[in-house]
A = this chain, B = another copy of it.
Amino acid sequence: MKLASLKDADPARGRDGRLVVVSNDLAWYADATHIAPTLQAALDDWDRLAPMLENLSTDLEHEMIPMRRFHEHDAASPLPRAYQWADGSAYVNHVALVRQARAAEMPDSFWHDPLMYQGGSDGFLGPRDPIPLSDESWGCDMEGEVVVVTGDVAMGASRDEALAAVRLVGLTNDVSLRNLIPAELGKGFGFFQSKPASAFSPVFVTPESLGDWWQDGKLHRKLMVDLNGQPFGRAEAGEDMTFDFGTLIAHAAKTRKLGAGTIVGSGTVSNRGADGGPGKPIAEGGVGYSCLAEVRTIETIAGGAAVTPFLKKGDTVRIWAEDDRHRPIFGVIEQTVE
């Protein structure tokens, strides 16, 4: 089953969009607001409502109900705002590289104890919305990540219990203002100004519908990232993910329960190179990168200084994952910096 939230004509009253079920090929949708007005409402009462949404999804695939053309441009993020956005850094390779370029030490515990920060969730960008940037000197970067949406998770849940609470899987562009990060981290209170609104893929998908692509709490597909129309990243999301989503969710739930609709992120998807070292750009036969910080890091390590600039006005980022016939699974995040 694939779910999306269409933008409401009245944004003040319709801040959470209208819930729709989307066909597997993303071509059609059926209104689902008679079952739940919003995706959050569906997640709040999932055990009762999910079977009804599944039936609607089946009817849609069989073209047994009224259906309309699905346009990704009309979609908000599936949760246009959420009660929690907890972003991990599960590809520890990425963290090690970024720290190396900042000349910040990385404790060995980072390989055993997940890193996670509390992200802002009061309003997300839509998957085709521009990225608003007041000041290019802030060092705007994209971060291509995999995300899951959970149901209720009890305090102290085990990794397996946490994994069983995964309701939906999707992608995000976790926009980061790199040049604001060092000062914020130096204050010790985590990211705040350095993490403006993220954007999510047009549709979120149930783990069951992903089949073999969802295994061991990981998405086993390539995360495709293009920058200004050129291939930039093709990293395997299922590889080099030190902490699977069950482990990340259990980490988040160690001292408190998690509410339904919690979004948990993987952190920037990142693969090591074939030799175990930093990965290479696509042009040099590597799988590339899912954020600019990583290529800048590798440039810094190799040549003493970063060459690739951060995002400027007019730059366009595309993030998606595809099936074996190159059709997007979650739709496409495509954003231009404004």
Contacts and interface: CB of A to CB of B under 8 A. Distances in A.
Interface of A: 12-13, 15, 44-45, 81-84, 86, 89, 104, 107, 109-110, 113, 115-123, 132, 134, 138, 155-156, 177, 180, 185-197, 251-252, 254-259, 261-262
Contacts of A107: 186-187
A122 B192 contact: no
A192 B45 contact: no
B123 A257 contact: yes
8 contacts: A15-B259, A110-B187, A117-B118, A118-B191, A122-B258, A192-B251, A196-B255, A197-B257
A187 B104 CA distance: 11
Q: State the 10 A-B residue pairs at the shortest beta-carbon distance, nearest first.
A: A190-B190, A122-B259, A84-B122, A196-B256, A83-B122, A117-B189, A118-B118, A123-B259, A185-B188, A193-B255
Contact of A192 (B109, B187, B252): B252
Nearest to A46: B12
A119 B118 contact: yes
A263 to B, nearest CB: 10
B81 A83 contact: yes
Nearest to A181: B188
Majority SS at the chain A contact face: loop
Nearest to A10: B45
Given A45-B13, A187-B115, A121 B83 contact: yes
Name the residue among A122, A177, A193, A262 with the largest chain B CB count within 10 angstroms: A122
A291 to B, nearest CB: 16
B189 A190 contact: yes
A256 B119 CA distance: 12
Contacts of A251: 192-193
A13 B41 CA distance: 8
Contacts of A83: 81-83, 121-123
A12 B192 contact: no
B155 A132 contact: yes
A119 B117 CA distance: 10
Contact of A262 (B122, B180, B190): B122
A83 to B, nearest CB: 4
B192 A189 contact: no
